[in-house]
Amino acid sequence: GSPFLAYRGKELFLEDCSLDELAQRFGTPLYVYSQAAMLAALAPYQRGLAGRPHLVCYAMKANSNLAVLQTFARAGCGFDIVSGGELERVLAAGADADKVVFSGVGKTRAEMHRALDAGVLCFNVESEAELEVLSQAAVDARRTARISLRVNPDVDAQTHAYISTGLKGNKFGIAHDQALAAYRRATELPGLEVAGIDCHIGSQITTSGPYLDALDRVLDLVESIEAAGIALHHLDLGGGLGIVYTDEQPPAADALLAQLLQRIDARGHGHRMLMVEPGRSLVGNAGVLVSEVLYLKPGEAKNFCIVDAAMNDLMRPAMYEAFMRIEACRLRGHGATVYDVVGPVCESGDWLGRDRALAVEPGDRVAVLSAGAYCMSMASNYNTRGRAAEVMVVGGQAHLVRDREQPSELFRGERLID
């Protein structure tokens, strides 16, 4: 459990805010985040890297609300971005471009140009073809693109197949045995400057073994690349550290970093600038989705608890069969019933939780926990449902950080044909 989320009496609080009261004030579905919880999640990364040149680049795809980005920018973080849209967002939140790394297998020329103009710190390049295009874009813009190659270490992150990225069969990164040749090519290209090396093996990783294996593979490469006369300044270890959704036991970030640093130092790489790209572990357990119970629908095979949030608001259960805890925002005296908690969207895959014991009545509110990462940022407008409002609690005060989307906004850019 999070120290920021707890029942006080019968009511569920995030910091000093009753979630039921926030729901009354701002409506539902409602995302609520704790800024203190985000900063508390960042602290072990900062502690783990203290005393060394480093940059924690928040992987903003996990939650890209401007106020979230602002929180991390003010805390000194850099950012890992994967699109031109994310670049505009993070600049709008006040981040410095020179702390931004640009990842992704399919960067367009237009995105490269914009990132070069803004002056991003580094492009994490994922193929030889991308090296050629990026060099050309940089020459055209009369700039130099600092690059690292994202290498695919071919280790099994032991996580869900959809979020495992460091295996040979994945689309990500440059194969280990092609990396040296790709670095050689990069040094020949006029628009590029080799800055470092990068690796990211997957997400929701709950043991340190895959990280250590990947690190060893990457350090082998670093040694052969430098033996070939190509200097590498930084080492980017990627993101991927898991969080507790139910009974997982992921290592703490500082404990994981201590293990990695011990290996890095032992192999004589302790002088390098270190970068990490955590997303989920910084925000996942800092947020909840509050939703109102609309109807209870008892049945022979299943009882359904129909709530006003749906797969368009939170698609991790529908997409990955992800388990996310669901709790009543106000405890009732009566006994619980086992429900499938489902939304109003017209799909059988529209569920938030299966076989959950809940004591609720229509009009009550429930909170989906661990909903700070990959929830709002993956929301859609399916069924022409406006996206939820977002609130950030800062020092006990609730701030509306995103308005609820209104129906008219959903078809504003569309046209009838005359």
For the annotated catalytic residues, the residue numbers are: 346
CB nearer to ligand LLP: give 65 or 203. 203
**Pairing of the two strands 78-81 and 54-59:** parallel
Which one among 103, 127, 285, 370 touches ligand LLP, defined by CB under 6 A? 103
Rounded distance between C-alpha atoms, residue 389 and residue 306, angstroms? 20
Of 210 and 240, nearer to ligand LLP (C-beta) is 240
Phi, psi (degrees; rounded to nearest 5) at 12: -85, 125
Tell me if 376 sits within 8 A of 2, measured CB to CB. Answer: no
The correct pick among 191, 278, 353, 386 for binding ligand LLP (CB under 6 A) is 278
**At its nearest, how many Å lie between ligand LLP and the CB of residue 279?**
3
Number of Cβ atoms within 10 Å of the Cβ of 338: 12
The single residue among 64, 208, 281, 370 that binds ligand LLP, judged by CB under 6 A, is 281
Q: Is 99 near ligand LLP (CB under 6 A)?
A: no
Indicate whether 48 belongs to the interface with ligand LLP (CB under 6 A): no
Q: Strands 365-368, 287-297: parallel, antiparallel or unpaired by DSSP?
A: antiparallel
Q: Which of 28, 70, 164, 203 binds ligand LLP (CB under 6 A)?
A: 203
Six-digit token string for 375: 């929830």
Interface pick for ligand LLP out of 272, 280, 365, 385 (rule CB under 6 A): 280
280 marked among binding-site residues? yes
What are the DSSP calls for 125-175, one per residue? Answer: E--HHHHHHHHHHHHHTT--EEEEEEEE------S-GGGB-SSTTSSSSEE
278 appears as a binding residue in the annotation: yes
| Residues in 321-340 at the binding interface with ligand LLP, rule: CB under 6 A | none
239 is in an annotated binding site: no
Site for ligand LLP in 5-44 (CB under 6 A): none
**Annotation-wise, does 374 bind a ligand?**
yes
200 binding ligand LLP? (CB under 6 A): yes
208 versus 281: smaller Cβ distance to ligand LLP:
281
* CA-based end-to-end distance of the chain: 57
Smallest gap from Cβ 270 to ligand LLP, in A, equals 23
Kindly identify the residues of this chain, within the stretch 226-255, that bind ligand LLP according to CB under 6 A: 238-241
Contact 345/312 with Cβ under 8 angstroms? yes
CB nearer to ligand LLP: give 282 or 341.
282
107 binds ligand LLP per the rule CB under 6 A:
no
Question: Does 333 appear as a known binding residue?
Answer: no
Alpha-carbon span 218 to 207, nearest angstrom: 18
- CB atoms under 10 Å from CB of 332, counted, come to 13
Helix axes 209-227, 179-188, angle to 10 degrees: 50
Q: How far is the CB of 275 from ligand LLP (least distance, A)?
A: 10
Which residues between 108 and 167 bind ligand LLP (CB under 6 A)? 163
The answer to whether the annotation marks 196 as part of a ligand binding site is no
Q: Interaction with ligand LLP in 360-389: which residues (CB under 6 A)? A: 374
- Choose which of 23, 55, 59, 352 interacts with ligand LLP (CB under 6 A): 59
Compute the distance between CA of residue 262 and CA of residue 216 in angstroms, rounded to an integer. Answer: 12
CB 291 within 8 A of CB 20: no
Is there a contact between 11 and 330 (Cβ–Cβ < 8 Å)? yes
Q: Say how far apart CA 418 and CA 397 lie, in whole Å.
A: 50
Q: Which residue's CB is nearer to ligand LLP, number 163 or number 294? A: 163
> Given candidates 316, 356, 385, 387, which one binds ligand LLP under the rule CB under 6 A?
316
Residue 62 as a binder of ligand LLP (CB under 6 A): the answer is: yes
d(CA 216, CA 417) in angstroms, rounded, equals 60
What's the rounded Cα separation, in Å, for the pair 194 and 330? 56
Q: Which stretch binds ligand LLP (CB under 6 A): 7-15, 26-34, 200-208, 331-339?
A: 200-208
Measured CA to CA, the distance from residue 202 to residue 124 in angstroms comes to 16
Annotated ligand binding at 58? The verdict is: no
Q: How far apart are CA 231 and CA 233, in angstroms?
A: 6
Q: Which residues are annotated as a binding site for pyridoxal 5'-phosphate?
A: 240, 277-280, 374
Footprint of ligand LLP (CB under 6 A): 59, 62, 80, 103, 163, 200, 203-204, 238-241, 277-281, 316, 320, 374
